Amino acid sequence: MERFVSMRRENRDRFHEETLDPEDWESMRELGHRMLNDMIEYMKNVRERPVWQHASNQVKSHFNRPLPIDPQPPKQIYEEFVKYVLPYPLGNIHPRFWGWALGTGTVFGAFAELLAGSMNTNTGGGGHHSAVHVEKQVIDWIKEMLKFPASASGVLTSGCSAANLIGLTVARNTKAGIDLRRKGLREMPHKMTLYASQEIHSSIQKAVEIIGLGSEALHLVPVNDDFQIDLQELKATISRDRKEGATPFCVVGAAGTINTGSIDDLNGLTEICQKESLWLHVDGAFGAWAALDPFARKKVSGIERADSLALDLHKWMYMPYEIGCVLVQNEEYHRKAFSLTPKYLAHGEGGRGITGNDLPWFSDYDFLLSRRFRALKAWMSLKLHGSRKYGRLIQQNIEQAHYLAEQVNTQPELELSAPVPLNIVCFRYVPPDMDEAALNELNKKIVVELHEQGATVISGTIIKDKYVLRAANVNHRSRREDFDILLREVISTGKKLTIAHE
């Protein structure tokens, strides 16, 4: 087999071995300490900065450079970061950011990212190493918090989009009735259909499209006045589809819709699914964590009976991006949908060597093989705060949302646009004598102007054909006074824009 190695002998001897480790460890260490100090200050003083601000054209053009060919001193790179990156964040760690549903993160969580990045462990395969123990522990704790049985399987994901994709893939494969992994959807004798409310998150549609069902397979059912899926309509739709020859296989419940934070009647959905032999997947991105608040807990009653549950830990558990989780009631279904063991990934037998098979290989439950040590920040954070404090913070966010809603109700220029069952408040600015089209335009402009002013950030959405302002509160840094500022800003911005408009 001499030919195997003949290729490049001529080059070899002139070869000087090098590494990407620092040449000067001490100055790298110093730089690290400087970064750490700066980051502490950055997080500590976030309240003193604008929530968001425009990057100048100079900043923008800094990121339009040719590929760096030669090395640059680390200190200089860090200074560029401080000048061009750090001052122009999206703003979601700020106490007055309530746009979309974005997490705030914590100091200890950021530290955990340094530790995980230093260990640089891959948790995709290989049973025997500490990161696998930590991930298993974190999943056990999540099951405990959400009252899932200990026998359920789970895997940490980048977030809820990935968790929904996994949950729906398990549902599809389990309910197909044919060997779908081998045969594919074209071999299905009937069209597989699934159901969710019109308020369901877009990641469900995206997952349905990716896994090949097509968005037409996703039947969106109307909601009641509380923005929950209408159970009678759901039953009627399923029954109609069956008559038309489709194969209903899954209902997706929402625990915390993105528009209003409403939670479907999960016990009602469980009963329907059991009766109809359907899989119940729950998208619990943030809302699942209402389970930790003794007052809100009853709203997610039944969540522990879902066949699969997707949720985030970087939203309402306040951990840094990315961390989500999917739990599957039946471990075997989960594993059967994702386990694939080629020769080069053979799991060892018994407890010897790295590949011993007495611990889970998370790649058997995930579509990823390269998986960072995201469990560490969850393990450290849950220990630091304890589940009770998380419960109190979630309760606090809900209380603050109700406070905001009450304040909206006291202002004649403002109008509440939807119920506030959880932590999301939809409202709008309604000056007298303005038609609906103009109100929509005005409120759209208010969102953008608020961004530009930088004191508060909210986003907008459409509720019953009306464009509304929307504050989603998963922010552990917000105080009541921050919501007062929000309303003050909305009203003054609304006034200013109305005058400009007249």
Give a three-class secondary structure readout of 149-197: CCCCEEEEECCHHHHHHHHHHHHHHHHCCCCHHHHCHHHCCCCEEEEEE
Contact 197, 155 (CB under 8 A): no
Contact 474, 397 (CB under 8 A): yes
**Residue 286: CB minimum distance to a second copy, A:** 11
| Identity of residue 230 | D
Q: Which candidate, 289, 312, 468, 285, places its Cα nearest to that of 389?
A: 289
What is residue 56's DSSP assignment? Answer: P
**Residue 489: CB minimum distance to a second copy, A:** 14
| 345 versus 434: smaller Cβ distance to a second copy | 345
| 274 versus 448: smaller Cβ distance to a second copy | 448
| 35 versus 271: smaller Cβ distance to a second copy | 35
| 330 versus 395: smaller Cβ distance to a second copy | 395
C-alpha span between 462 and 470 (Å, rounded): 9
**Residue 259: CB minimum distance to a second copy, A:** 6
Tokens of 292: 């930790």
**Residue 132: CB minimum distance to a second copy, A:** 9
**Residue 450: CB minimum distance to a second copy, A:** 8
Contact 142, 357 (CB under 8 A): no
Specify the 3-state DSSP secondary structure of 1. Answer: coil
| 272 versus 311: smaller Cβ distance to a second copy | 311
**Residue 420: CB minimum distance to a second copy, A:** 5
Contact 303, 149 (CB under 8 A): no
C-alpha span between 96 and 86 (Å, rounded): 18
Specify the 3-state DSSP secondary structure of 374. Answer: coil
Bin 307: left if φ > 0, else alpha if -120 < ψ < 50, else beta.
Answer: alpha
Q: Which candidate, 150, 401, 393, places its Cα nearest to that of 292?
A: 393
Buried b / exposed e along 97-134 (16+ C-beta atoms within 10 A): bbbbbbbbbbeebbbbbeebeeeebbbbbbbbeebbeb
Asked if residue 322 has a cis previous peptide bond (ω within 30° of 0), the answer is yes
Tokens of 479: 């105080």
**Residue 317: CB minimum distance to a second copy, A:** 10
For the chain, helix (H) and strand (E) counts, in that order, are: 15, 11
| 145 versus 271: smaller Cβ distance to a second copy | 145
Q: What's the distance, CA 352 to chain centroid?
A: 37
Beta bridge partners of 324: 157, 312
C-alpha span between 12 and 310 (Å, rounded): 52
| 44 versus 501: smaller Cβ distance to a second copy | 44
| 272 versus 463: smaller Cβ distance to a second copy | 463
Q: How many of the other CB atoms lie within 10 Å of CB of 275?
A: 10
**Residue 366: CB minimum distance to a second copy, A:** 9
Tokens of 9: 């002998």
C-alpha span between 332 and 50 (Å, rounded): 50
